Chain A
Amino acid sequence: MKNQLETDLELIDSVRNGDTFAFTKIVGRYKSKVATTVFGVLGKTQEAEDVGQEVFIRFFKSINQFRGESQLGTYLTRIAINLSLNELKRRKRSSFFSFEDWTETKIEEKVQSEHSEDLERKEIVRKAIDQLPDKFKAVLVLRLMDGYSTEETAKILEVPNGTVLSRLSRAQQKLKKILTPLEADI
């Protein structure tokens, strides 16, 4: 892990010295991690990919401010989760004046009528997660999809460990409430 960290820092130094190819290497190394976070929060959409690109652009612009106190992956995840939550807020604002809720419902109905059970189950869980409040969703994505520990999740979100645990617990209780009636229909 130490070598990995040193190599990251070496790449960052190269970028600081004007080597943009080194930055391509950083993108290649961390794009999966960032994808997990942004797709986890926003779903597999074009906006999510745009947010993913924005994560790396923000990092590029602020590369001189990265002091290496946290791991690069954690640093990028922090940017990714913040930009994803901002995107969710933007979506909510724009859906207030649009038919997005209506189309969401239609998708849900369509998903329920599909016969591929595994895909159907995944889509239902995905839709259930989408219904969670943003702060619960952020914890769920970081803790269960990205695989960060409770402590790491707490650091990324800048909240106490106890808050992470309680949000995760409440998120799961909400998911059970949403999913149980749907499971009965399948």
Chain B
Amino acid sequence: MKTKNINEIILKSLDSELSEEEKRFLDEEIQKHPELQSERDWHMKLRGEISTLSSAEFSSDFELKVMNRIRTTKHEERESGNLFLQLALPFKRVVLPAMIVLIILLTYNLTITESVSAESLIGMSTVPMEDLFDPGTTLILE
């Protein structure tokens, strides 16, 4: 056991059981160097001081403050939930009929075109860019 470990062993002795070897070493070192005992006492005293440091309490109306904050949080959550419902409600009334109409339309489109494609689904054929900007048409118009 090296001398450099003596401080660690002193601190360890305050916190947990030392092994037989460590105990023997500590006792021998304290007998040889009595100042080590005062070192141990200093740490013991410090521990005592630390344990009394945080004896403070929260303010007397702490429970009230907590419950008020909980109430506010719940109210806010409810409000945000209400806002969502308020926005969703008008859509809720029309969503089912709209879905039925949409399904009927899509089915009808698929049936009459007899092919499964995005174009037949929406009932429109894609117009090529050339047709959209046909210079011939433009000239005729002029």
Is residue B133 within 8 Å, beta carbon to beta carbon, of the partner chain?
no
Say yes or no: A144-B70 contact (C-beta < 8 A), given A53-B62, A165-B15.
no
Say yes or no: A172-B11 contact (C-beta < 8 A), given A23-B70, A44-B56, A140-B50.
yes
B66/A53 in contact, CB under 8 A: yes
Give the residues in chain B near A20, CB-CB below 8 Å: 67, 70
Given A49, A57, A168, which contacts B15 in the complex, CB threshold below 8 Å?
A168
Closest Cβ neighbor of B9 among chain A residues: A169
Alpha-carbon distance A138/B94, docked complex (angstroms): 57
B16/A122 in contact, CB under 8 A: no
Interface residues in A124-149 by Cβ distance below 8 A to B read 125-126, 129, 140-141, 143-145, 147
Most chain B beta-carbon contacts within 10 A, residue among A28, A37, A145, A179: A145
Q: Within the complex, what minimum Cβ distance (angstroms) separates B125 from chain A?
A: 55
The range of chain A's interface size is 35 or more
Alpha-carbon distance A140/B43, docked complex (angstroms): 13
Give the residues in chain A near B12, CB-CB below 8 Å: 165, 169
Give the residues in chain B near A40, CB-CB below 8 Å: 53-54
B46/A175 in contact, CB under 8 A: yes
B62/A129 in contact, CB under 8 A: no
Which applies to chain A's interface (DSSP): helix, strand, loop or mixed?
A: helix
Alpha-carbon distance A145/B54, docked complex (angstroms): 7
The tally of residues in B whose CB lies under 8 Å from a CB in A reads 29
A173/B73 in contact, CB under 8 A: no
What string of 1s and 0s marks CB contacts (under 8 Å) between B50-77 and chain A? Answer: 1111111111001101110110010000
Closest Cβ neighbor of B55 among chain A residues: A36
Alpha-carbon distance A61/B50, docked complex (angstroms): 33
Give the residues in chain B near A52, CB-CB below 8 Å: 58, 62
Alpha-carbon distance A81/B44, docked complex (angstroms): 25
Alpha-carbon distance A122/B16, docked complex (angstroms): 26
Alpha-carbon distance A53/B65, docked complex (angstroms): 8
Is residue B8 within 8 Å, beta carbon to beta carbon, of the partner chain?
yes
Alpha-carbon distance A173/B16, docked complex (angstroms): 17
Is residue A14 within 8 Å, beta carbon to beta carbon, of the partner chain?
no
B7/A173 in contact, CB under 8 A: yes
Given A28, A31, A61, A141, which contacts B54 in the complex, CB threshold below 8 Å?
A141
* Given A141-B54, A165-B16; 10 other pairs, CB 8 A cutoff: A24-B66, A24-B67, A27-B66, A27-B67, A36-B54, A52-B62, A60-B70, A126-B53, A144-B50, A176-B46
Closest 7 CB pairs of A and B: A40-B54, A169-B11, A145-B54, A144-B50, A36-B54, A27-B63, A56-B66
What are 13 contact pairs spanning A and B, CB under 8 A?
A20-B67, A39-B56, A44-B56, A53-B66, A143-B15, A144-B47, A144-B51, A145-B50, A145-B51, A145-B53, A173-B7, A176-B46, A179-B46
List residues of chain A with CB under 8 Å of any chain B CB. 20, 23-24, 27-28, 31-32, 34-37, 39-40, 44, 49, 52-53, 56-57, 60-61, 121-122, 125-126, 129, 140-141, 143-145, 147, 150, 165, 168-169, 172-173, 175-176, 179
